[in-house]
Amino acid sequence: MCGIVGYIGTRKAQPILLDGLHRLEYRGYDSSGVALVDATLAVTHASGRISELETKLGGTVPASTCGIAHTRWATHGPPTEANAHPHRDCTGRIAVVHNGIIENYAELRTELEARGHTFTSETDTETLAHLIEEAMKAGKGLTSAVQTALRRVRGTYGIAVVSADQPDKIVIARLGSPIVLGIGDDELFVASDASAIIGHTRDVIYLDDGEMAVLGREGHRVMSHDAKVVTKETTELDWSDEDAQKGGHPHFMLKEMLEQPEVIRNSMRGRLNVEEGTAVLGGLRDVAGRLRDIDRLVVVACGSAYYAGLVGEYMLEEYAGIPVEVELASEFRYRKPLLTKRTAVLAVSQSGETADTLAAVREAKMKGALTLGIVNAVGSTIARETDAGVYNHAGPEIGVASTKAFLSQCTVFALLSVFLGRQRQMSLSMGKRIAEEMRRLPDLVAGILEGRDAIRAIAERYAATTDAFFLGRKYCAPIAFEGALKLKEISYIHAEGYAAGEMKHGPIALIDATFPTVVLCPKDSVYEKTRSNIEEIRARGGKIVAVTTEGNEEAQRFSDDVIYIPKTLEMLTPILAAVPLQLFAYYVSTSKGIDPDKPRNLAKSVTVE
């Protein structure tokens, strides 16, 4: 969740490190710090945004060409300057930046304090600096000292370490928290996320768990934690620096919402065979036979990806005829999941690094299930560790609140439903009908986005509210959950998403004139049922914002505000219905003066449990 950046090369390190930190602010930003190394080690910390760190650093750029930096999302210890990374040892000549959690840090700290070490922070990370110091005192070089220290810790980590005693070296290591190595011309980069270094190189190496690397002036080498050399392939990133910039928009979230028509096209490109009424998913080619034989699919995901999975559940059960369960990945391995060789477990993750989802994949593999992924980040851990999968091709998503990745995930679930449905009982005519309608989606979404000013006006009228409900049935129930999550995430308004039929089972007690409800009520198979729920809310004085199908004029009579979406197949309606809820949350947030790209307490990718 925190961000790591490192550099060694021929250029001055500080500007490169600060640029990387700015690009990683979305991952966590309650404090930050930089360590520059040559014959000495210079460390600067600041709490708050990166701009605070820049102020402390001043206008002079040191000559150092090697350093590491970090932007922190607090786990152990509050977001103070003292707890900011990089952390140093007692001598002040070793610096460590760390993502993850050292689970046995308390006992290690007690042991180290008994040996005379003095701690200056409340973090778990600082124990690593002191463990490395102990090993170097015993005569080990930096690389060997890091290996020795890591053998003592339990937990997860992505780390970068420098020492003034070996100023031409950065040691990095990974276990459960992502680390990527970037390769340039006579220079090397380190990051927890490739977006930090895309402006300098597109050639990267992803470390796997249990691997470490040494970066020096002459190049790099990758090895296992027991020092065996590992040969790694270089991956070329399939997106550019321009993709990771705002492009003139006030926020990444708005830019990414406006990209959604093209994202849907990219998610479908080369994958829809309209004539055969099927989908061509090359990433599943090698397991197509096994997929034909599965009798159950379990989707594991967290956050918005979980809600995309719920949309997929409706699609797959109705059109592919496969029993589907959607599980919160954070709970999956703490149950006793009943998996067989005819079960497929499908992990959904934008980053491909979500800690709980990755743990669920590993649990499923241990039990012999076929593992699949729907992942946006090429080369990510989930993409590498699953048996097969489908890439979203959504491009980098920087905004913390997922928008374009969510729509892409729903689109991929529609493709998967056609693919698996045609393997089974879906007719050619039905397959063609779905495929033809999917081809219309980009233009339909573009139409909704073009009408965003009307949604802005509605959002501004509700910006002062403190509570809200989101209701939907069948395919739109997960979108109600997702809409409530969006509003919570970026406007800090208490919002709850419910399946509409559950309103009478308790939540309706909260309804009054100050408690608005956003109701997803397209003209679909459950419209009349949802219409009844609206009347129940109106009878208790509640305000209604209706999201319904174009041409539904009666919605003006039973709603205080109406947002129209185009008509499409019922199974594809969630993809359209999600867009106005994203815009609604965005404009509520901005009208309240909140930065929707950097909501408090949240980070884009949850890489620690």
Q: Catalogue the active-site residues.
A: 2, 604
- Taking phi over 0 as left and psi of -120 to 50 as alpha, with beta for the rest, 58 belongs to left
Token pair in block for residue 509: 């007690």
Peptide bond between residue 86 and the one before it cis (omega within 30 degrees of 0): yes
**C-alpha distance from residue 482 to each of 27, 31, 260 (Å):** 21, 29, 16
Q: Is residue 321 within 8 Å of 421, Cβ to Cβ?
A: yes
Strands 544-549 and 561-565, by their bridges, are: parallel
CA dihedral defined by 58, 60, 62, 65, rounded to 10 degrees? Answer: 90
Distance, CA of 158 to CA of 406 (rounded, Å): 27
Token pair in block for residue 122: 């409340």
Closest CA to 115 of 104, 102, 103, 127: 127
Q: Which runs of consecutive H residues, i.e. helices, occur in 190-277?
A: 252-258, 260-268
Burial class (CB in 10 A: 0-12, 13-18, 19+), 254: buried
Q: Is residue 296 within 8 Å of 339, Cβ to Cβ?
A: no
Q: Which helix (H) or strand (E) holds 285?
A: none
CA atoms within 13 A on the CB side of 463: 18
CB under 8 Å to 524, separation ≥6 — which residues? 474, 475, 476, 549, 570, 573
What is the arrangement of strands in the sheet containing 296-301, beginning at the earlier edge strand?
A: 324-328, 296-301, 343-349, 370-375, 388-391
Q: Which runs of consecutive H residues, i.e. helices, occur in 344-400?
A: 355-366, 381-385
Distance, CA of 354 to CA of 550 (rounded, Å): 38
